[in-house]
Amino acid sequence: MTQLQQDSLSPFMAECRDRCDKAMASHLDSLTVMPETLVSAMRYSALLGGKRLRPCLVYASALATGQTIEYGDDAAAAIEFLHCYSLIHDDLPAMDNDDLRRGQPTLHVAYDEATAILAGDAMQALAFQILSESSRYSESVRLRMLQCLTRAGGCHGMVAGQAIDLASVGQSIKLPALENMHRLKTGALIMASVELGALSAACVDESILSHLRGFAGCIGLAFQVQDDILDVTGDTATLGKQQGADQALNKPTYVSLLGLDEAKLKASRLIEDAHGHLDQIDGDTRYLAALADYITGRLY
């Protein structure tokens, strides 16, 4: 990423994080019927920090398709709540059994396992409630948003990918199977982020949406390749989670299948392909482009 891109991206990402955090906090404030302990647990996970990459993609996609940034608020909050739910459940003892998330104890460690399960369930439902009740979008747009998020988060996306991931531990799988797993587990929600941003701008041009999906597919896969690289080259303090966790669990990764140098090359080529899709879109795609470069340049 050039210095010019970095100089423009950093304040943009900070604005996106601030907008999304305020939107999420507002929705959490409205949960007056739930037990305070459960709301507290949801706050702990949802507002713990993080890059907010998926909300950033929502906002950047909305801008690229001709809308002002505030129209992405509800979509950004929804996608991040769904993402947070997935992290809570991924960290559980029955799943990855992780103790650290974003440099802090995971939710089941900080509270307890039952509270973590319920908090994740509540966040998942809240994500769909936000979109279904949003006054920012028309009824037809809300329906398309719900279809997009449902597909990305369920049996055609993230849940399917997690099931494949768990079944692959200690197994020998080939590169196409690994890519399919990550397109579902990680890529589906990244693709939904970009698509939700366009839908928040009421963009229904299938040519534009197709290139946005192609862009998102490339960066979603690049994100996972970079994660696998960082699991080898990073450190626990910087990553905010246990370094070498995938290797310790004997999980198949791009580094284990390709080697470190080839994995880095694959990530770079995916980002080049992502830029190729953006070149076909007549809009302000500079933030999407900068976020694509950020994915392979990040250190955590």
CA angle 17, 106, 299 (to 5 degrees): 50
Report how far residue 160's alpha carbon sits from residue 164's, in angstroms, rounded to the nearest whole number: 6
The pLDDT tens digits for 38-91 are 999 999 999 988 889 999 999 999 999 999 999 999 999 999 999 999 999 999
Burial class of residue 79 in the structure, from the number of CB atoms within 10 Å of its CB (0-12 exposed, 13-18 middle, 19+ buried): buried
pLDDT at 263 over 90: yes
Residues 254, 228: contact at Cβ < 8 Å? yes
Residue with the larger pLDDT of the pair 240 and 212: 212
pLDDT at 239 over 90: no
Q: What pLDDT score does 59 carry?
A: 98
Burial class of residue 83 in the structure, from the number of CB atoms within 10 Å of its CB (0-12 exposed, 13-18 middle, 19+ buried): buried
pTM for the structure as a whole: 0.91
**Domain 3-297 - what CATH class?**
mainly alpha
Coil, helix or strand at residue 105: strand
Average pLDDT over the chain reads 91
pLDDT at 299 over 80: no
Residues 78, 136: contact at Cβ < 8 Å? no
pLDDT at 115 over 60: yes
Residue with the larger pLDDT of the pair 24 and 95: 24
pLDDT at 7 over 70: no
Report how far residue 288's alpha carbon sits from residue 54's, in angstroms, rounded to the nearest whole number: 11
Q: Looking at beta carbons, which pairs linking 169-172 to residues 24 or more positions away fall under 8 Å?
A: 169/249, 169/250, 169/251, 170/250, 171/252, 172/252
pLDDT at 13 over 60: yes
pLDDT more than 70, % of the chain: 91
Q: How confident is the model at residue 4 (pLDDT cuts 50, 70, 90)?
A: very low
Q: What phi and psi values does residue 298 have, to the nearest 5 degrees? A: -70, 155
pLDDT at 242 over 70: no
Cβ atoms within 10 A of the Cβ of 296, count?
A: 19
